[in-house]
């Protein structure tokens, strides 16, 4: 599984990255967590606001900080699919 955190380094973007890492550890899912800070790469996902959360190429959230529990649910749902 590839999880990408989209953001240019703002506080919310850093928090999302840290929360995603914690969610991966707590779920035990085998996933690579990647931080995307390049604005052109972020724009390729067609999101208007960061931070963004992308799991296996699909945008799951944009412009907000999802909770740890929400991120864990998104990861587990993507792991089943």
User: Of these residues, 13, 24, 36, 53, which one is catalytic?
Assistant: 13
Active site residue 13: yes
Nearest to 30 by CA among 81, 75, 77: 75
User: Of these residues, 2, 8, 10, 76, which one is catalytic?
Assistant: 10
Torsion of CA 62, 17, 59, 52, to 10 degrees: 20
Active site residue 25: no
3-state secondary structure of 61: strand
Cβ–Cβ under 8 Å, residues 29 and 20: no
The catalytic residue positions are 10, 13
């Amino acid at each position: 599984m590839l999880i990408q955190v989209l953001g240019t380094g703002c506080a919310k973007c850093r928090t999302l990255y840290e929360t995603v890492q914690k969610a991966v550890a707590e779920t035990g899912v085998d996933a690579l967590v990647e931080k995307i800070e390049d604005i052109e790469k972020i724009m390729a996902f067609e999101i208007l606001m960061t931070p963004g959360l992308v799991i296996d190429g699909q945008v799951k959230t944009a412009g907000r900080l999802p909770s740890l529990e929400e991120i864990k649910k998104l990861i587990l749902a993507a792991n089943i699919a």
